[in-house]
Amino acid sequence: MRRGNESGQAAVETAIVLPLFVFMLLGILQLGLMHQARLLTKYAAYKAVRAGSIHNADIPTMEKAALAVLLPMVSTAASGGAEIIKPITSAGDFKSKFESGDIGRNQMGDASGLKFAEVTICNPLKGDLNSGSHGNKEMDFDDPKVASGDQGWADSLRTKLSVQVTFNYRLPIPFADVVIYNIARGRDLPYVLRLGKDSERDEFIVKKMSRYDAAANNKLYILPIRATYIMRMHSNLYLTQKELPEENECIFTFEP
């Protein structure tokens, strides 16, 4: 009779501990992959701004450069809702994955049009270029009067390209994905605890996180991983360039 009691106690203890133990293992694996994705995003930001500096700050060119770096961490949906990360062991694997389906278009067809790699220009802005007294339709990247900063520090920034790369990382580990996503989103926390003002909560959720929440409602959990890099231009900026934003739309953790 005693053996039966001990067996029942062991079964109860196992039922309590096993889910926590499994989540710990899955969570460690997922956090390790996220750390690797973060490191690759930093390098992708460098490659993106380098491509932009020599290609007139062209956003599609920069996004291709960033996606090429992030490709080993890019996953796609498989049957049953699971995520599959296709490994890259050769140039042929790279070409096949880089040009395939949604990845080749840099668009997530199952996630409200999110891109795998998205580039946002932080600087220069359209107003910065148009405010200068330049007779040409381009700003010379090697204009010594601008590049040297003789006319002021702000003026010298006109020939420096600053970009932010957002890697929309699809969490591939089951069970850990939903838990980590909800922790990262912190929906139940007052916005002020996330260094924001309550008046800005709705704007942040609607404008910056609505697409991620829409994907999460379809059991696809995506976290944006961001990195920023700045580099002096090595090609001319067009004064009427459509890619240049009216205002800085990059997202930083120290925003008020």
CA distance 228 to 49: 9
Inform me whether the pLDDT recorded for 69 exceeds 90: yes
Total structural domains within the chain: 1
Is 230 within the bounds of a domain? yes
In-domain check, residue 247: no
- What share of the chain in percent tops pLDDT 70? 78
Report if residue 21 sits inside a domain: no
Q: What pLDDT score does 190 carry? A: 54
Tell whether 25 is covered by a domain.
no
**Among 40-44, 67-71, 126-130, 239-243, which is the least confidently predicted range?**
239-243
Note whether residue 1 is domain-resident.
Answer: no
Q: How confident is the model at residue 207 (pLDDT cuts 50, 70, 90)?
A: low
Tell whether 195 is covered by a domain. Answer: yes
Mean pLDDT score, 226-249: 83
Q: Pick the residue with more confidence: 220 or 195?
A: 220
Instruction: Output the pLDDT for position 41.
Output: 97
- Model pLDDT, residue 146: 62
Domain that holds residue 178: 37-238
Give pLDDT, residue 1.
47
The residue ranking higher by pLDDT, 138 or 203, is 138
23 domain residue, yes or no: no
Residue 47 lies in a domain: yes
The pLDDT assigned to 139 comes to: 76
Q: What integer is the mean pLDDT of 163-181?
A: 91
